[in-house]
Amino acid sequence: MNRRVRRKVLQLKDKEKLTCDNYVEICDGSSSSERKGDVDWISLPDDTVIQLFSYLNYRDRASLSSTCKTWRVLGSSPCLWSSLDLRAHKCDSAIAVTLASRCSNLQKLRFRGTESANAIMNLQARGLREISGDFCREITDATLSVMAARHEALESLQLGPEFCERISSDAIKLVALCCPKLKRLRLSGIRDVDGEAINALAKHCGQLEEIGFMDCMSIDEVALGNVMSVRFLSVAGTRNTKWSSALHLWNLLPNLICLDVSRTDVTSAVVVRLMSTTPSLKVVCALNCPNLEEESNHTAYNVKGKLLLALFSDIFKGVASLFADTTVKDRDVFSEWSSSKSGNKNLNDTMTWLEWILSHTLLRIAETNPQGLDTFWLKQGAALLLSLMRSSQVDVQERAATGLATFVVIDDENATVDCGRAEAVMQDGGIRLLLDLAKSCREGLQSEAAKAIANLSVNAKVAKAVAEEGGINILADLARSMNRLVAEEAAGGLWNLSVGEEHKGAIAEAGGIKALVDLIFKWPFGGDGVLERAAGALANLAADDKCSMEVAVAGGVHALVMLARTCKFDGVQEQAARALANLAAHGDSNSNNAAVGQEAGALEALVQLTCSNHEGVRQEAAGALWNLSFDDRNREAIAAAGGVEALVALAQNCSNASQGLQERAAGALWGLSVSETNSIAIGREGGVAPLIALARSEAEDVHETAAGALWNLAFNPGNALRIVEEGGVPALVHLCSSSVSKMARFMAALALAYMFDGRMDEVAASIGSMSEGISKSVSLDAPRRMALKNIHEFVGTFSDQQSFNAAANSSAPPALAQVAEAARIQEAGHLRCSGAEIGRFVVMLRNPSSILKACAAFALLQFTIPGGRHATHHASLLQKSGAARVMRAAAAAATAPLEAKIFAKIVLRNLEHHNVEASSLI
């Protein structure tokens, strides 16, 4: 705490003089209250309280000031209100009015957005000297004019880097008239800066030393030559510049020290002439100027006493050349200057300007991501941004951190990060530096540093480094911030880190899950940014069994269902649905599946999301319903909520959609169709035809889920007729014979077996013209022959004749075990069949068709193989139904095919295994 602040405290309190010992005692932890383990906050020395207040944002500072009379007086100390950053929180006119009594001595102000720009007039800060605003795209001439008129002492005005498209030269003229003390003017994206506006600045603002008209459509070059006071001039990114006019007039500016023409079409001839003919000019910054970079002869710019900074030059070395001290290390030039400021005013001003210009230009280049700059970024661009992050200028630090967050991303839509760039940041010590900035008390720095960490962490190596450096704990702490922007970027970091399985547990241990859930409750209407990131991180974490339980315990089910029900942002809906899908994916290991289904409005919300206009939302909602349908109660509740109709409609409309959506749409219908009531409803709603179309997909995952759904549907004879009517037999035959997925081939064979076990013939005969909804008569003979032929060939692929003969001639377990292992379809062990389905296969063992007998025995083998997820359940169903007798008869039947006899023997052996296993548990 400095003397000036201490004197102000004494004036306010009129107490006896405080000594430095008071403050040292608190810092050293030697006070009696601290030794006892508690602190009497009200009795803290006044200067300590003010120091603590200085670390708070304005809202927290104002809130704490209401605690007691003493703190109210201290909280109004002018030293606490010389600078105000309104960017992090909403600031409307009402809030500005409440702050006005504290802002009479306000010197510096930063704001964000149009609402804050209009509100700052109510602060009554007549002595305001610096105004800096971003997100100014909607600010109009009227707003800027009033801002200038109310603050005639203004010395610095900066609006950008977003384009100020609604500001015209008229407002600039009013700024010139109202602010005669103006020293710095930086505006971005003005459409046209005409001569009248610039001449007004020249006439009325005699102290104007720095002008920055960046990314403007046009600027009057002639008029700029009249601003004799200008020392630093930037026209970076401007278009339609008449360089011949600029050349003849700007070289006459008597005080011009530094010129920035980056990202323009300036030619080498103009640059050389300006450097040669402008006596005062020391530095020309010309980064990303295509005309210069195309020149092969770069020695032309070696003008004695002048410095050109370009992509092809060594920027560190060039800046170091400005110093008389030759011991300055090139890469440390900015940090060494910052720590030991030179006594040379021109040099200090130049370095201050260079830091700002470089941070602005590098960010702009990163945003446009032009081709051919990989070498620049790897050799010096990344190092420059890291060096600028150590600047004493907070806005430079922030912009450099944003630049790091931006330049590593080469495909924003798909969140693709350039590995080389990300690892270059890591190798130069950037991770530790970013994490240190993230721990800063300045929320703007916290936000931008967290954003950079988040983007860099898309790279697995960087993510590992972030975790090893303690970044997970830092991000979890930031996610608890009351500043929405900080919390949003921290949630983004946790989202990217949670992709790695090795980081999920660490995030949970750091309290990240609770922090993410709390974010949703804290800002339920805070915009899509914070909610999408929080939901996305929870979705990744919910994929882990242990973490999914922690998500539920922390209130995550309720939070995510709330988002699915009420949020209108596509990205948030997609991540919320994905998170619910992952929570419901652990049905065998925890109760989250049932918990999601029991949450009020959850199933209805997910059913509604399947009708979204956004494909990603439809896909994740269908995936969630698929997972939830594994629970019996959920399955019926989904149907009651209109799930059958919605999912059939989804399947009907996804023929041209992504494979992911097709797979999940078919999968959800597969899950619902486990219930025969739902299966019949799916058939009546027209679900057969789209499932057949999906079964013809070339994607393995899609035709696998479609085959599963058709298998369930075929259990009902009415649906079986529909499948035949819609041309489903050829589609299933193709799957059965050609799919690369054994599981798809297996389920297609089972569907065909269901269809032609004789029941469909009985139904067809009884309903005559197929009054259940199928209007055309169908001949079943040809489809039956085709189906049985392919079922026989499918089962035959698992029937090695030599092994079968050995097993038939010997009942020795090794022979049977060898056949069983050869016939095993690994994925089939995950299928769960009902008692009715098991019973149908048992009945099929008595079918006159030897092919169906073999298929039934083969299916029961798959369902009872030891180690299968539901094998014990299936064995129990078989035991209860008395199937063992039927199996023994099939195994001993002289007329039964060899495959059926051998498979039946294996099933009997499996039943014995499960009996022994059950007995050992009693």
String of DSSP letters for 395-452: HHHHHHHHHHHHHTEEETTTTEE-HHHHHHHHHTTHHHHHHHHHTSS-HHHHHHHHHH
pLDDT at 542: 96
Look at the chain and count its residues.
Answer: 922
Within this chain, do residues 806 and 671 fall inside the same structural domain, yes or no? no
Identify whether 19 is part of a domain.
no
User: Per residue in 335-388, pLDDT tens?
Assistant: 888 887 777 889 999 999 999 999 999 999 999 988 889 999 999 999 999 999
DSSP-derived secondary structure letter, 380: I
Task: Extract the tokens encoding 838.
Answer: 């098991």
pLDDT at 343: 74
Phi-psi region for residue 602, left (φ > 0), alpha (ψ -120 to 50) or beta?
Answer: alpha
pLDDT of residue 405: 94
Domain assignment present for 814: yes
Whether residue 89 lies inside any domain: the answer is yes
Q: What is the pLDDT of residue 48?
A: 76
Q: Are residues 151 and 298 in the same domain?
A: yes
Q: Are residues 786 and 861 in the same domain?
A: no
Report d(CA 765, CA 771) in Å as an integer.
11
The values of phi and psi at residue 675, to 5°, are -80, 130
Q: How far is CA 139 from the centre of its chain?
A: 30
Q: Do 754 and 831 fall into the same domain?
A: no
Residue-wise pLDDT for 15-51, tens only, equals 333 333 333 333 333 333 344 455 566 677 777 777 7
Position 777 confidence tier, pLDDT thresholds 50, 70, 90:
low
**The pLDDT value given to residue 774:** 45
pLDDT tens by residue, 442-474: 888 999 999 999 999 999 999 999 999 999 999
- Exposed (0-12), middle (13-18) or buried (19+): which is 35, by Cβ within 10 Å? exposed
pLDDT of residue 273: 92
The reply to whether 838 falls in a domain is yes
According to the model, what pLDDT value does residue 3 have? 28
Average pLDDT of the segment spanning 686-705 = 93
Q: Residue 682's domain is classified under what CATH number?
A: 1.25.10.10
For the segment 478-504, what is each residue's pLDDT rounded down to a tens digit?
Answer: 999 988 899 999 999 999 999 999 999
- Number of Cβ within a 10 Å radius of residue 874: 27
Residue where a domain terminates, one of 288, 311, 334? 311
**CA 839/CA 757 separation, integer angstroms:** 13
Paired tokens of 911: 């039943």
Looking at the structure, tell me whether residues 793 and 803 fall in a common domain. no
> What is the predicted pLDDT for the residue at 766?
67
Count up the domains in the chain and report the number: 4
The residue-averaged pLDDT of 640-664 equals 95
Instruction: Name the region of 614 (left: φ>0; alpha: ψ -120 to 50; beta: rest).
Output: beta
Say whether 653 sits in a helix, a strand or coil.
coil
Q: What is the pLDDT of residue 198?
A: 97
Q: Assess whether 166 and 246 both reside in one domain.
A: yes
Q: How is residue 251 annotated by DSSP?
A: T
CB 162 within 8 A of CB 188: yes
Please name the helix (run of DSSP H) or strand (run of DSSP E) that holds residue 152, with its range, or none. none
Q: Which two tokens stand for residue 839?
A: 């019973």
% of the chain residues with pLDDT over 90:
61
Check if the beta carbon of residue 45 is closer than 8 Å to that of residue 22: yes
Backbone phi, psi, residue 243, to 5°: -70, -25
**Three-state SS at 185:** strand
- Could you tell me if residue 537 is inside a domain? no
d(CA 119, CA 162): 20
Give me the CATH number covering residue 301: 3.80.10.10
Residues 837 and 714: beta-carbon distance below 8 Å: no
Close Cβ partners of 689 (under 8 Å, ≥ 6 residues apart): 652, 726
Asked if the bond preceding 848 is cis, omega within 30° of 0, the reply is no
pTM: 0.85
Over residues 310-334, the mean pLDDT reads 86
For the residues 4-13, what does the mean pLDDT come to? 31
Q: Give buried/exposed letters for 361-371 (b at 16+ CB in 10 A, else e).
A: bbbbbbeeeee
Higher-confidence residue of 153 and 330: namely 153
State the Cα torsion 354-357-359-360 to the nearest 10°: 180
Residue where a domain stops, chosen among 54, 72, 105? 105
Rounded to an integer, the average pLDDT of 880-889 is 87
Residues 6+ apart with CB under 8 A from 805: 898
Pick 815 or 770 by higher pLDDT. 815
Distance, in Å, from the CA atom of 645 to the CA atom of 377, rounded to the nearest integer, reads 54
pLDDT of 103 strictly over 90: no
329 pLDDT above the threshold of 70 = yes
| pLDDT the model gives residue 769 | 45
Reference 666, options 702, 625, 612; nearest CA is 702
Q: Are residues 752 and 838 located together in one domain of the fold?
A: no
Would residue 702 count as lying in a domain? yes
State pLDDT tens for residues 818-865: 778 888 888 888 888 888 889 989 999 999 999 999 999 999 999 998
What is the reported pLDDT for 809?
A: 65
Residues 133 and 256 in one domain: yes
Do 513 and 547 touch, CB atoms closer than 8 A?
A: yes
Q: 200 lies in a domain?
A: yes
Q: How far is CA 134 from CA 48, 110, 160, 395, 529, in A?
A: 33, 8, 5, 11, 18
Query: Are residues 185 and 296 both part of a single domain?
Result: yes
DSSP bridge partners of 109: 84, 131
So what's the pLDDT on residue 367?
92
Do 143 and 191 lie in a common domain? yes
Q: Quick one: 730 and 841 in the same domain? A: no
pLDDT in tens, 887-901: 898 888 878 888 888
Cβ 315 vs Cβ 309: under 8 Å: yes
Task: Report the DSSP beta bridge partners of residue 157.
Answer: 131, 185
Query: Within this chain, do residues 218 and 168 fall inside the same structural domain, yes or no?
Result: yes
Strands 416-417 and 108-112: unpaired
267 lies in some domain: yes
Q: Which pLDDT does position 66 carry in this prediction? A: 73
Identify the weakest region by mean pLDDT among 294-303, 609-618, 787-796: 294-303
The predicted pLDDT at position 884 comes to 86
The answer on pLDDT for 801 being more than 90 is no
Predicted pLDDT at 527: 75
Mean pLDDT estimate for the chain: 87
Q: Which band of pLDDT confidence, cut at 50, 70 and 90, is reported for residue 920? A: low
pLDDT at 727 over 70: yes
Which structural domain range is residue 689 located in? 642-764+780-797
